[in-house]
Amino acid sequence: MPERAARRAELLSVAAGVFAELGYSATTVRVIAERAGLLAGSLYYHFDSKESMLEEILRTFLDALWTGYDAILGDRALGPRETLRALVVESFREIDRHGPAVAVFQKEARQLAAQPRFAFLTEAQRDFEDAWRTTLERGVADGAFRPDLDVRLAYRFLRDTVWVAASWYRPGGRHTADAIAGQYLSMVLDGISVRSTIPTATRSRPWPRPT
């Protein structure tokens, strides 16, 4: 990575942190600058505007995310249950790597999407919904998921449960991202109730690690 781009990335990382902590609109370029060790005006040597920092943060995150998602969704060998599992795991790994970016995305995406500049967020959310709902519907069709499942609702349920974690998850905590993903999946798939008789294989089999 050229020196130039490395500095950009460093500043974007700081900015993402502040955006996540204070919210985009409450964040001042002077705060970003201070936390990065330079003055407000100097940021404009690297970036066009505060908004363009936000855009680059979100684009970078979505690119990385979809790289992972596409690999999963393109794998025809995976059944709906394994696909869902892999999607959740991948999402938590993304939270682990791009925590602040995910938090910003989760906080601001909805209202930013109205702006033409951030139309790519709308597309992303559409693709998102497609991926999850298709997986859920496949699962209902082939008997992996409950036939009485309200797919629209289940989609929102899954989407929210996964992404909100970005607001409290901190890397280096007592659980790894994969461990949290496992717990989440366990709750989502099998519920928190105690069940009468369920083959253990369906609820606690470790999922395959993507390479």
Partner DNA sequence: CCTCTTCCCTAACAAGTGTTTGGTAGATTA
Partner DNA sequence: TAATCTACCAAACACTTGTTAGGGAAGAGG
- Residues binding a copy of itself (CB under 8 A): 21-26, 81, 107-108, 110-111, 136, 139, 143-147, 149-150, 153-154, 156-157, 160-161, 164-165, 167-168, 175, 180, 183-184, 187-199, 202-203
3-state secondary structure (DSSP) of residue 209: coil
Q: Report DSSP state, residue 194.
A: -
> Tokens at residue 21, please?
């902590």
42 binding DNA? (CB under 7 A): yes
For residue 111, the partner it binds in a copy of itself, DNA, none, with Cβ less than 5 to 8 A by kind, is a copy of itself
Question: Given the rule CB under 7 A, which of 24-32, 107-115, 150-158, 193-201 is the region that contacts DNA?
Answer: 24-32
Q: What's the rounded Cα separation, in Å, for the pair 77 and 65? A: 21
Instruction: Check if the beta carbon of residue 82 is closer than 8 Å to that of residue 140.
Output: no
Residue closer to DNA (CB basis): 37 or 208: 37
Phi/psi for 88 (5° steps) reads -65, -45
Tokens of 145: 């998921």
183 lies in the site for DNA, by CB under 7 A: no
For residues 43 and 144, which CB has a smaller minimum distance to DNA in the complex? 43
Question: What 3-state class would DSSP assign to 182?
Answer: helix
Angle at CA of residue 153, ends 171 and 85, nearest 5°: 45
- Single out the residue of 9, 23, 28, 115 in contact with DNA (rule: CB under 7 A): 28
198 binds, among a copy of itself, DNA, none (CB under 5 to 8 A by kind): a copy of itself
CA distance between the termini of the chain: 24
Give, to the nearest 10 degrees, the angle between helix 99-112 and helix 50-73: 100
Phi, psi of 171 (to 5 degrees): -60, 145
Q: Interface with DNA by CB under 7 A: which range of 48-56, 64-72, 93-101, 134-142?
A: 48-56
Size of the site for DNA (CB under 7 A): 22
Return d(Cα 124, Cα 101) in angstroms, integer: 15
d(CA 170, CA 172) in angstroms, rounded, equals: 6
Structure tokens, 96: 């682990």
Give the binding range for DNA (CB under 7 A) out of 2-10, 68-76, 93-101, 130-138. Answer: 2-10
- Among residues 196 and 211, whose Cβ is nearest to a copy of itself? 196
Segment near DNA (CB under 7 A); pick from 31-39, 76-84, 92-100, 171-179: 31-39
Contact flag: residue 157 with DNA (CB under 7 A)? no
Positions in the binding site for DNA (CB under 7 A): 3-4, 7, 27-30, 33, 37-46, 48-51
